[in-house]
Structure 1
Amino acid sequence: MQNKPKLFRISTVPMSLNLLLRGQLRFLNEHFEVTAISGAGDDLETVADREGVKVHEIEMHRPISLRQDLKSLWKLYWYFKKEKPDIIHSITPKAGLLSMLAGKLAGVPIRMHTFTGLIFPHKSGYMKSTLIIMDKILCGCATHLYPEGKGVKADLINYKITNKPLKVIANGNVNGVDVDYYCPKVISQETKDLLREELHIYKDDFVFIFVGRLVIDKGLRELVKAFEKENKNNKKIKLILVGSKEKVNHLHKRNIFRNIHNHANIISVGFQEDVRPYFAISNVLVLPSYREGFPNVVLQAGAMGLPCIVSDISGCNEIITHHMNGILVPRKNTLKLQEAMQMMLERPQLVESLQKNARKIVVELFNKEIVWAELKKEYEKILKENKN
């Protein structure tokens, strides 16, 4: 029996492997000998158990640290030399830089990196220049490059990061959506009734939901302001915030969280392992983020049948088509965000139309099986080309 090609999937921290590649590694392990590489942690153990793949610990630090980075580079180099993988494929910035460089030095024939989002476009000065140089080195050492979406691809081209071909797998997103798991039918009426009762949400309430880290860059300031203004006109609306709160030192940020805490119709439930019940009792997802790679939460909400109000930015506007499955608004624009929320409240026929399209579009374009099949096909194509 012919040995399966060796495939190493690499991220800086194990949480990325656990959350971003859920199910994908098990699927790929049927066709390749998969090893998942990252720093140590419970998430890496979860990946080993759930996905049934080999794992290997190599610490990589997210912040720039010359001493630590050289140490990680050395460990990656020797592991690659020893194991001789056919393909290495990284998905986070630091892991990409170190593994592509180590792979080139170790003679790994196929070195792939997926850009799940870019940091440098949102930085300035010395840090921006440093991050651009790092991404240029990464691209120089990789043999194949994959932006997660068209927006990321455009940034790589516009900033002249690389002249190499850039390919988006399937219709974008690193893993696709499990449309059987994220499905409105899986949440029982009893579960929904109990959750509504717990959160003091009534049958005639219209519920907006935000899912993500409660940080300024996710548009939290504009969301809270827009909701407060709209709630003065309509007391039958609620806003559920699902996500962990950032550490607050700045006075302005403290004021935002004080407003959230004091507002009777804003319900903050913290981080939730399973967000589906909260989607199931909501009418519309709102994500007025300043920047995204390819937001999983918008895909998940769509699979649950929710229309979305999102910023007209890369990633979001690759999932949401204006007035087809949601509404696009300019980023950092409280007035336009409030107008979109008001439109959802005043035009039930529009909401119904958006709801009908929401799940259909995700199932047709972003089903995990589509993404996985295209990725497998890409690996096999490159292996064949490399052999020839």
Structure 2
Amino acid sequence: MKAKLIRITTVPLSLKVLLKGQHRFMSEHFEVIGVSSPGKELADVKKDEGVEVIEIDMSRKITPIKDIISLWNTYRFLKREKPEIVHTHTPKAGIVGMLAANLAGVPHRLHTVAGLPLMESAGTKRKILEFVEKLTYASANMVYPNSKGLYDYILKNNYTDKHKLKVIGNGSSNGIDTSFFSPGQVSEAQKDSLRKEFNIKNEDFVFVFVGRLVGDKGINELVKAFSLLNKTEDPQRRFKLLLVGPLEQELDPLPEDILKEIKDNPDIIDAGFQKDVRPYFAVSDVLAFPSYREGFPNVVMQAGAMGLPSIVSDINGCNEIIIEDQNGIIVPVKNSEKLYKAMERMKSDTQYYQKLKMNARPMIESRYEQSEVWNALLSEYKKLIKERDYRV
């Protein structure tokens, strides 16, 4: 009989997208159950991954009453299922899942840290988030930061002991499927169609951003930098900015002047959320990703696998995937002037750009191939179970 592995995320989209393919892979070795809040994506996980899924309502915000209910429901579920491993992802799933697993006596309680919202918080809110983070780690047997930067940050702030911390492989929660994210997967006809739809000319130099259009992702700085870059009358210097992702005004609203610039500037293309981002990378020249905080951003790996160099901010994850002057440029956080200069260099220094572009895909293939990440995590699971068997 296979040991039972339960993976928990706050919202079903995380279970579906952030861990895509991993559930099916792990189901060859474990009885896998996915747990998340209700949503159609949960049914997609069941269908696509071939694993059982369970709905337990969880809120992304600080909601004490709802959180206690989530904790109780998760505890009862785990007590009934008696899993060998509970592995949580995302902050709220972490605190609910790790506390419940500890109370239920689950032998292996594992939590992956893929970003820390508290980094951009202050005052009372930060203190609450830090307390929750420490409580999550205290309830876990092992904590897996998905980047070396997060590992160092957690240690520096004394959120947990060093013996509980480990980075799996070279980082990343799920790696990257480089056969799927490959330039050859997008046909010339697809690219021509997309260029025609968005009025992108062959001579245009296209910067692409993929992600939520919110302040924390550096959209304000990106729009300001692009607007400055775009103020040229030189017909040889045509630029486009392709924004691929949803607006989330209710969580982290963009200011009115930025929204107006996105709407009114004919060279800024707001493509909205797209299920398949590969064609958008394929018609672009550079990924511009000036985020304030990340765990280990899939977007930067995806762009690299599609052959694009990147401009990223000097933050966890980004500054590990991108190596300065090899496959991209690293700029300070919240600095539109430095971002502008990096964007300008990508266009003006052709030899430099071609060098970065040539390195982009090989540097992802050699470090973050998905199968390597999955097997490293599987080895960790097996090692933990074997150690327990010896103890028993």
TM over 0.5: yes
Instruction: Return 253-262 or 24-33, whichever deviates more.
Output: 253-262
- Judge conservation of contact 1:7–1:32 (CA < 8 Å) in 2: yes
Distance, in Å, in 1 between the alignment partners of 2:305 and 2:337 is: 28
Tell me the CA shift for residue 8 of structure 1: 0.4
Match of 1:318 among 314, 317, 320: 320
In structure 2, relative to structure 1, the CA distance for the partners of 1:347 and 1:373 (3 Å cut) is: same
Tell me the CA shift for residue 227 of structure 1: 1.2
The alignment partner of 2:209 has SS state of strand
Tell me the CA shift for residue 65 of structure 1: 2.2
Distance, in Å, in 2 between the alignment partners of 1:87 and 1:178 is: 25
Tell me the CA shift for residue 109 of structure 1: 0.6
Q: Which amino acid aligns with 1:69?
A: D
Which residue matches 2:171? 172
Which residue matches 2:141? 143
Tell me the CA shift for residue 110 of structure 1: 0.6
Cα deviation digits, residues 88-117 of structure 1 (max 9, x gap)? 000111111111111111111111000111
In structure 2, relative to structure 1, the CA distance for the partners of 1:101 and 1:27 (3 Å cut) is: same
- Judge conservation of contact 1:25–1:51 (CA < 8 Å) in 2: yes
User: Superposed, which structure 2 residues align to 1:15-26 within 5 Å?
Assistant: 15-26=13-24
Tell me the CA shift for residue 384 of structure 1: 0.1
Which residue matches 2:218? 219
Distance, in Å, in 1 between the alignment partners of 2:8 and 2:251 is: 34
- Judge conservation of contact 2:141–2:164 (CA < 8 Å) in 1: no
Which residue matches 2:112? 114
Cα deviation digits, residues 131-174 of structure 1 (max 9, x gap)? 11111111111111101111111121111111143101111110
User: Superposed, which structure 2 residues align to 1:198-347 within 5 Å?
Assistant: 198-233=197-232, 234=234, 235-247=237-249, 253-347=255-349
Distance, in Å, in 1 between the alignment partners of 2:82 and 2:132 is: 25
Distance, in Å, in 1 between the alignment partners of 2:45 and 2:257 is: 39
Distance, in Å, in 1 between the alignment partners of 2:254 and 2:304 is: 33
- Judge conservation of contact 1:90–1:113 (CA < 8 Å) in 2: yes
Distance, in Å, in 1 between the alignment partners of 2:8 and 2:296 is: 19
Which residue matches 1:39? 37
Which residue matches 2:191? 192
Distance, in Å, in 1 between the alignment partners of 2:29 and 2:57 is: 27
- What is the TM-score normalised by the length of structure 2? 0.96
Tell me the CA shift for residue 249 of structure 1: 11
In structure 2, relative to structure 1, the CA distance for the partners of 1:251 and 1:63 (3 Å cut) is: closer
Instruction: Return 251-260 or 105-114, whichever deviates more.
Output: 251-260
- Judge conservation of contact 1:240–1:267 (CA < 8 Å) in 2: yes
Cα deviation digits, residues 307-362 of structure 1 (max 9, x gap)? 00111111110100001000011111121111111111111111111111110011
Tell me the CA shift for residue 121 of structure 1: 2.3
The alignment partner of 1:271 has SS state of coil
Cα deviation digits, residues 232-274 of structure 1 (max 9, x gap)? 2355111111111232799971111111111121111111111
Q: Which amino acid aligns with 1:254?
A: E
Distance, in Å, in 1 between the alignment partners of 2:71 and 2:292 is: 33
Tell me the CA shift for residue 178 of structure 1: 1.0
Distance, in Å, in 2 between the alignment partners of 1:65 and 1:208 is: 39
In structure 2, relative to structure 1, the CA distance for the partners of 1:39 and 1:251 (3 Å cut) is: closer
The alignment partner of 2:382 has SS state of helix
Q: Which amino acid aligns with 1:88?
A: V
- Judge conservation of contact 2:207–2:241 (CA < 8 Å) in 1: yes
Unaligned runs of 5+ in 1: none
The alignment partner of 2:243 has SS state of strand
- Judge conservation of contact 2:59–2:66 (CA < 8 Å) in 1: yes
Instruction: Return 224-233 or 274-283, whichever deviates more.
Output: 224-233
- What is the TM-score normalised by the length of structure 1? 0.97
The alignment partner of 1:344 has SS state of helix
The alignment-based identity, stated in percent, is 49
In structure 2, relative to structure 1, the CA distance for the partners of 1:249 and 1:49 (3 Å cut) is: closer
Instruction: Return 153-162 or 66-75, whichever deviates more.
Output: 66-75
Distance, in Å, in 2 between the alignment partners of 1:97 and 1:191 is: 44
The alignment partner of 2:230 has SS state of helix
Matched, 1:385 2:384: no
Which residue matches 1:373? 375
Distance, in Å, in 1 between the alignment partners of 2:252 and 2:175 is: 37
The alignment partner of 2:256 has SS state of helix
User: Superposed, which structure 2 residues align to 1:350-369 within 5 Å?
Assistant: 350-369=352-371
The alignment partner of 1:55 has SS state of strand
Instruction: Return 225-234 or 193-202, whichever deviates more.
Output: 225-234
Distance, in Å, in 1 between the alignment partners of 2:62 and 2:204 is: 48
Distance, in Å, in 2 between the alignment partners of 1:203 and 1:7 is: 50
Distance, in Å, in 2 between the alignment partners of 1:133 and 1:213 is: 27
Match of 2:101 among 100, 103, 109: 103
The alignment partner of 2:231 has SS state of helix
Distance, in Å, in 1 between the alignment partners of 2:317 and 2:271 is: 26
Aligned residues: 386
- Judge conservation of contact 2:119–2:293 (CA < 8 Å) in 1: no
User: Superposed, which structure 2 residues align to 1:56-95 within 5 Å?
Assistant: 56-95=54-93
Distance, in Å, in 2 between the alignment partners of 1:64 and 1:297 is: 27
- Judge conservation of contact 1:76–1:102 (CA < 8 Å) in 2: yes
